[in-house]
Structure 1
Amino acid sequence: MGNMSNFVKRVRDIMRNDAGINGDAQRIEQIAWMLFLKVYDAKEQDWEWDEEDYQSIIPEKCRWRNWGHDEDGKGMTGDILLDFVNNTLFPTLKNLPVNADTPIKKAIVQTTFADANNYMKDGVLLRQVIGVIDELDLTDYEESHAFGEIYETILKELQSAGSSGEFYTPRAVTDFMAQMIKPQIGEKMADFACGTGGFITSWLKELKKKVKTTEDEEMYANSIYGIEKKQFPYMLCITNMLLHDLDVPQVFHDNTLLRDVLDYTEDDQVDVILMNPPYGGSEKTEVKNHFPSDLASSETADLFMSVIMYRLKENGRAAVILPDGFLFGTDNAKVAIKTKLFSAFNVHTIVRMPGSVFSPYTSITTNILFFDRNGTTKETWFYRLDMPEGYKHFSKTKPMKSEHFAPAVEWWENRQEIQEEGFDKAKKYSIDEIKEKNYNIDLCGYPHEEEEILPPKELIQQYQEKRASLNADIDRILAQITDILGINLEEN
C-alpha cells in the first residue's frame, strides 16, 4: 500500500526520460490508456468469475494479463514491446468489431481506443511504466479503493495541464451540488458534457449512502447517464466508472448538441441533471439549427441550457454551473432562454461562487443555478458564497475545499436575507422583480470586485456578451419610446 501514494511520481520519473513524451498532457494521456487496460483486465476477472462462458472482446494476445503482466521478467521489452504496442495492440483495439448489439461493457474498449496514442519511444522505459501500473492490485478492495483516490489526483493534474482543465470541475463543487440535490434510489441522473465524470462520481457517492438491498444496488449501478464529445476525457471517464464498480458504464462518446431538441421524447428525460456545460464556445450554424430559432444562441452554455430544459422530467431537479454572462445577458436568445426557464421551471436558488474556483483554467466567475420542473418560478433566492478567511484567491496549491461550502449549506437549510456592509449577500427576489429587470439577474454579486484582469480571449468574450446585452437593451428602450410617442420609424 505504501507505494500507492507515490505511484504518480514513480511513473512520472520514468517517463521524464522518454523523448516521445512532450509535456504533462501527453504524459497523462499515456498513463490513461494503460490504466484503462489494467482496470478493464481486473473487471474481466470479475466477469469471468460471474459468467462461466464469458468471452473477452479483446483477442488473447492483446489482453493486459498476457503482455502487460510480467511474471518472471521474461515479458516483452525494448523494441519488441514497442513494435507490439504500436503495430499489434493499437490497430487491434481501434478496430474491434463493434455494432449496435455489442454490450456496453465490451463496446467501451473500441470507443476508448478510437483516438488513443502511444507516445513513448523507448521500449525499456515503457516496460518499466507498465511494471509500476501492473503492481496495482485492483482485486483487493482496500487497494482498489485507495487507487480510486489516486485516480482523482491524476484527473486533478489534468486541470493544471492546460486545455484539458475544462473537463474537470473541482470536487468540492460537484460534491456540494450532489449533496443539495439529495439523490434518491431509483432516480436516473445525467450529465450531457460529463468530462472525466466528476458529477457522476459525486452523485454516486451521495446515493451510495441510501443503498440497503441488492435491488437498491442494482438501481444504483444503473442510475447514471453521461455523454462526452472529446475522446480523451471520455477515456478517463470510462476508467473512472469501472473503478467505481459500474460494470456497465452508461457513458457515451457523442456530441449532445448535434441532435434536434424537439426530437426528445419522455424516454430521453431524466430525474436529475447535474452539470457544468462548456462555455465560451461559439457554435456554428449547423449546431444552432438543432434548436428552435428563438433559443438558438451561438454561446455553447446557452444551447446546453435548452437541452437541459427539454430533457428534465416532470418533477425533476437540476443543478447547473453557468458563467456570469448567462446571468447578466439580455440579448434576445438569453432572454428567451431565461423566460422559458423561469416560466416552465422553478428556479429556486442561485449560488454565486467566488472567481478563481476554476483556476488556473479560467478566471471567469461562475454560478450554480438550482431549478426543479415542478411548476413556475414564484421567487428566487440568491446567495453569494464569499472567499474563505485567509484566501485571496484559489489556486492550484490552495484549491477550493468542501468545507468552504459550509456557510452555504448552513444558510440553505435556514434561509434568511443577509446584508454585509450595505451590500446584499443573500436576498429573495419575486418573479415580477426579475421580469422587470428583463432577466438581468446579476444580483447579490461581489461588491468590491477589483477589475479582473482576464486573459484576452475571455476578455473579448465578456465584452461581446456585454455589447449584445446593451444593444438589446437599447433596442427595447427605443421600441418603448417610439411606441409611447406613436412614432413609426419604418416609414422614413
Structure 2
Amino acid sequence: MLTGPIRNDIDKLWEKFWTGGITNPLTVIEQISYLMFARMLDMQEEAEERKANRTGKAFVRLFPDTKEGQLLRWKNFKNLSGKDLHKHLKNEVYPYFSKLGQVADIDQVGEDTPVKAMGHISDYMEDADLEIKNESVLVAALEMVDSLPLNQSDVKGDIYEYLLSKLTTAGINGQFRTPRHIIDAMIEIIDPQPWDTICDPSCGTAGFLARTMEYLNRKHTSPENIWTDEEGNQHYPGDLLENYREHISDDMFWGFDFDTTMLRVSSMNMMLHGVNGSNILYQDTLNKSIRENFPQQEENFFDVILANPPFKGSLDETNTNPELLSMVKTKKTELLFVAHILRSLKLGGRAAVIVPDGVLFGSSKAHQQLRQELIENNQLEGIISLPSGVFKPYAGVSTAILLFTKGGTTERVWFYDLQADGLSLDDKRTPLKGEGTNDLPDAISKWKAYRQLVESNFDFSQFGDDAQGCANPENAGAYFQDKTQKAFVVDAADIASNKYDLSINRYKEVVYEEEVYEDPKVILGKLMALEKDIMADLKELEGML
C-alpha cells in the first residue's frame, strides 16, 4: 500500500500531463516508465560500484566509463534545464536503452551481471520515444520520479500498480484490465508455490504475474520481518523465499503478448515487483509460429496458468496453431485460448481462466467439444459465475472463472454464484460496504472447505436428496449438495446428460416464496376510502378560495 503523499504526488503529476496535452493514460504510464527505468539503471550501477569498492573486483558496467557514457546516468542528467534535458533524453538516453546488452567488456558478461539482470526489457525499449513536449511537465515528471522510494522493493511495485489503476478510466487498445481484487481471488484459489512455473498467455500489463509475486511475498514472510509504515500499511519482504530467488528471477514467470506497448509496461511492472528476469515475450500464443519460437513452452510446460484472455473476434485458420484446431475446430478466440492453456499445462498443472458465459453454454459443436474435453479428459474443478458488471466501464458481458487441472477425469464440478464483488456494478464501480456487498471472501472460504473434503476422499453421494434444504455450512458435505446455496456441487454425469452445459442457472435451484395478497374487495374498499378523503380535502380547499 502507498502512503498518501506518494499518491498525491502521482495525482498531481497526472494532472500536469493532462494540462500539458498528454491525455492518453497509457502514454502517461509509458513516459513515467521510461524515467523510472532510467533511474533504476543508475541505482543498479551505483550498487555494483559500491560492491566493487568493497571487494576490489571489477564489474560489467551498464554505462560506458567515458564522459559521454556517464552522462547517460540519472544522477548526471537529472539537473539539466528543461530544454537541454529534453534534447539529451530524446537523442542520447532513450536510444541507449536498446543497446544495454552491447557492452564494451563483453567477455566479462557472466551469469550474474546487471546486463543479464535487465532480462528482456531492453528488447522492448528499442522504440522508446520522448513524447513529453512541454518542458515544465518533463522537469516535474523527473522531480517526481527522483523522489519516489524506488529502493524499497515492495513499495515500488505498489507505485506501478497505482499508476496502472489509472487505466480503469480508459480501454487499452480494445482490451480491458482485469480488476485487481478478482486477480487476487483467483491467485488465492490456485495458491501458487515458489517452485511453480507460472504463465499468462495474454499478459497485458502482467497483472496476474505481478500480483502472484505479491502473494508469494505475503505467504513467505516471517512474522518478525513484516513492517508497518506510518499509515498502518503492512509490508512483506518475502524473506523466506531466499532459496527460490534464482528460480523466481529467471524461470518462474512467463508472459506472452503481441502488443509491444503492453510488453514494455508488463516488463517494467515485473521489474518493479523485484523480478528482473521475467520472461515477458513477444508472441501471439494462438499463432502457429509459437511452435517454432517457443516449442518447449507450447506443450506440457507450465505448473500454473492464470489468464483473462481476449474473447472478441475470430482468427484466420491458416495462421492458427493446428494443434489447437485438432482439439477444437473453431475460429473463436475464447475457445482456442482454453485449448491452448490445456495444451501448455503440465500433467497435473492447474489453471484459473476468465471466460465469457458463452463458453459455458454455447450450443455449437466446438463449444460442446471443448466442454467435453474439460470434463472427460481433465479435471474441471470449479466454476465461479461473476456478475455482469465486473468489467465495467469497458464491457457489461457476463463472465465466469474456470478452475481446472490437466489430466484425469471429472467426477463433480463445484459451482459458486458470485453476485457481488465489493464494488457497484455500474460504470462508476465505487466501493461498497456492509453485509452482502462482497461475496469474494465467502467464495474463497467455501472453495477451501470443498477442497479439504475432496483431498480427504469425502463421499459426496452419501447425502443424496436428503440434504436438500440443509443450510448449515458446518455440515459441509450436505451443504454442497444443497443447490439452493451460493456454493454447490454437480455430478459430472448430470452435466454430460445436459450436453456438457456448464451454466450455473442450469443446475441452481431457486426457492420461490409465496406472495400473499389481500382480497380484491378489501383493496377496492381501501381505494374508495382514499378517494373519499381526497375529495373531502379538495372541498375544504375550495372553501378557502
Shift of 1:443: 2.0
Q: Match for residue 496 of structure 2? A: 435
Deviation at 1:91, TM superposition (A): 3.5
Deviation at 1:173, TM superposition (A): 1.1
CA spacing shift, 1:45–1:61, aligned 2, 3 Å: closer
Matched, 1:132 2:161: no
Q: Which runs of no fewer than 5 residues in structure 1 stay unpaired?
A: 449-492
Q: 2:430 is matched with which residue?
A: 397
1:114-125 mapped onto 2 (5 Å cutoff): 114-125=126-137
- Residues 126 and 408 from structure 1, CA distance in 2 versus in 1: closer, same or farther, beyond 3 angstroms? same
Report which structure shows greater RCO (CA 8 Å, sep ≥6): 1
How far off its partner does 1:109 sit? 4.2
Kindly provide the amino acid, as one letter, of the partner of residue 90 in structure 2: N
Q: Which has the larger radius of gyration?
A: 2
For the pair 1:285 / 2:317, whether they are aligned, the reply is: yes
Q: Are 2:86 and 1:82 aligned?
A: yes
**Could you tell me how far apart the structure 1 residues matched to 2:433 and 2:335 are?**
26
Report the Cα distance in structure 1 between the residues aligned to 2:61 and 2:44, rounded to whole angstroms: 11
CA offset at residue 311 of structure 1? 1.0
Q: Is 1:152 matched up with 2:173?
A: no
Q: Which is further off, 380-389 or 344-353?
A: 380-389
- Aligned residues of 2:77 and 2:85 also touching (Cα < 8 A): no
Choose 392-401 or 310-319, whichever is displaced more. 392-401
- Note if 1:324 corresponds to 2:333: no
Please state how far the C-alpha of 1:214 moved relative to its aligned partner. 2.9
Give 1:243's aligned residue: 272
Tell whether 2:40 aligns with 1:39.
yes
Q: Which letter maps to 2:363?
A: T
Q: Is the contact between residue 349 and residue 380 of structure 1 (CA under 8 Å) also seen in structure 2? A: yes
Q: TM-score, normalised by structure 1?
A: 0.78
Query: CA 1:361/1:436 → structure 2, altered by over 3 Å: closer, same or farther?
Result: same
Match of 1:352 in 2: 385
Amino acid across the alignment from 1:243:
L
Counterpart residue type for residue 367 of structure 1: A
Q: Residue 483 of structure 1 aligns with which residue?
A: none
Is contact 1:172-1:400 (8 Å) kept?
no
In 1, Cα distance between equivalents of 2:10 and 2:23:
17
Asked if structure 2 preserves the Cα contact closer than 8 Å seen for 1:185 and 1:207, the reply is yes
The equivalent of 2:7 in structure 1 is 5
Q: Does 1:408 align with 2:443?
A: yes
* Structure 2 CA distance for aligned equivalents of residues 25 and 390 of structure 1: 24
**Contact in 2 for aligned 1:382/1:428 (Cα 8 Å):** yes
Q: Between 88-97 and 434-443, report the one with greater CA deviation.
A: 88-97
Deviation string, structure 1 residues 245-280 (Cα, Å, up to 9, x no partner): 113222223222224677755875111111111111
Deviation of residue 350 (structure 1)? 0.5
| Secondary structure of 1:27 counterpart | helix
Deviations 1:443-488 (A, max 9, x none): 247999xxxxxxxxxxxxxxxxxxxxxxxxxxxxxxxxxxxxxxxx
SS in 2 for 1:315: strand
Q: Is the 8 A contact 2:45 2:62 kept in 1?
A: no
Q: Distance in 1 between matches of 2:61 and 2:432?
A: 41
The 1:106–1:439 alpha-carbon spacing in structure 2 relative to 1, beyond 3 Å, is same
Counterpart among 371, 381, 387 of residue 420 in structure 2: 387
For the pair 1:227 / 2:256, whether they are aligned, the reply is: yes
CA separation of 1:42 and 1:158: change in aligned 2, threshold 3 A: farther
Specify whether residues 164 and 35 from structure 1 end up closer, same or farther in structure 2 by C-alpha distance, changes over 3 A only.
farther
* 1:385, distance to aligned residue in structure 2 (A): 0.8
Structure 1 residue 157 displacement after superposition: 0.9
Q: C-alpha distance in 1, partners of 2:276/2:132? A: 30
Cα distance in 1 between the residues matched to 2:509 and 2:426:
16
Q: Which moved more, 1:189-198 or 1:426-435?
A: 426-435
Task: Measure the CA separation in 1 of the matches of 2:272 and 2:260.
Answer: 19
Structure 1 residues 68 and 199: alpha-carbon distance in aligned structure 2, compared to 1, 3 A threshold: farther
Report the alpha carbon displacement of residue 400 of structure 1 after superposing the two structures with TM. Answer: 11
Asked whether the 8 Å contact 1:58–1:93 carries over to 2, the reply is: no
Shift of 1:372: 1.1
User: Could you tell me whether the CA contact under 8 Å between 1:18 and 1:125 is conserved in 2?
Assistant: yes
Name the aligned partner's letter for residue 170 of structure 1: P
User: Quick check: 2:17–2:28 contact (8 Å CA) kept in 1?
Assistant: yes
Select which of 194, 198, 214 maps to 2:203.
Answer: 194
Shift of 1:58: 5.3
Give the Cα separation in 2 of the matches to 1:108 and 1:131. 27
Q: CA deviation at 1:324?
A: 0.7
Question: 220, 235, 252: which is aligned to 2:281?
Answer: 252
Partner secondary structure for residue 16 of structure 1: helix
Between the aligned partners of 2:86 and 2:74, the Cα distance in structure 1 is: 17
Amino acid at match of 1:145: D
Please name the residue that 1:310 is paired with: 343
User: Which digits, 9 at most, give the CA deviation of each residue in 1:29-59, with x for residues without a partner?
Assistant: 3223222322343344445555754434555
Find the aligned partners of 1:95 and 1:286 in 2 and give their Cα distance: 36
Cα distance in 2 for partners of 1:197, 1:161 equals 17
Residue correspondence of structure 1 range 48-197 to structure 2 within 5 A: 48-49=49-50, 52-57=57-62, 60=69, 63-66=72-75, 68-70=77-79, 75-78=80-83, 80-94=84-98, 105-106=117-118, 108-139=120-151, 141=152, 144-163=153-172, 166=175, 168-197=177-206
User: Gaps spanning 5+ residues in structure 2: where?
Assistant: 104-108, 221-238, 451-478, 511-545
Which residue matches 2:520? none
Displacement, 1:169? 1.4
The one-letter amino acid paired with 1:197 is A
Q: Which residue identity lines up with residue 120 of structure 1 in the other structure? A: I
CA spacing shift, 1:425–1:403, aligned 2, 3 Å: closer
Tell me, in whole angstroms, the C-alpha distance in 1 between the residues paired with 2:396 and 2:171: 13
In the alignment, structure 1 residue 338 sits paired with structure 2 residue 354: no
2 CA distance for matches of 1:390 and 1:66? 43
Give 1:444-483 correspondences, 5 Å limit. 444=505
SS of the equivalent of 1:342 reads helix
Q: Quick one: distance in 2 between partners of 1:442 and 1:407? A: 20
Q: Normalised by the size of structure 2, how large is the TM-score? A: 0.71
Question: Which residue matches 1:479?
Answer: none
Corresponding residue for residue 467 of structure 1: none
Which residue in 2 is equivalent to 1:475? Answer: none
Using the alignment, how far apart are the partners of 2:273 and 2:148 within structure 1? 16
CA distance in 2, matches of 1:174, 1:98: 38
Q: Give the distance between the partners of 1:199 and 1:41, measured in 2 at CA.
A: 28
Q: How many pairs does the alignment contain? A: 436
Q: CA deviation at 1:67?
A: 5.2
Indicate how the Cα distance of structure 1 residues 188 and 23 shifts in structure 2: closer, same or farther if over 3 A, else same: closer
What CA deviation, in whole Å up to 9, does each residue of 1:112-147 have, x standing for no partner? Answer: 3234332221234312211221122322x3xx5334
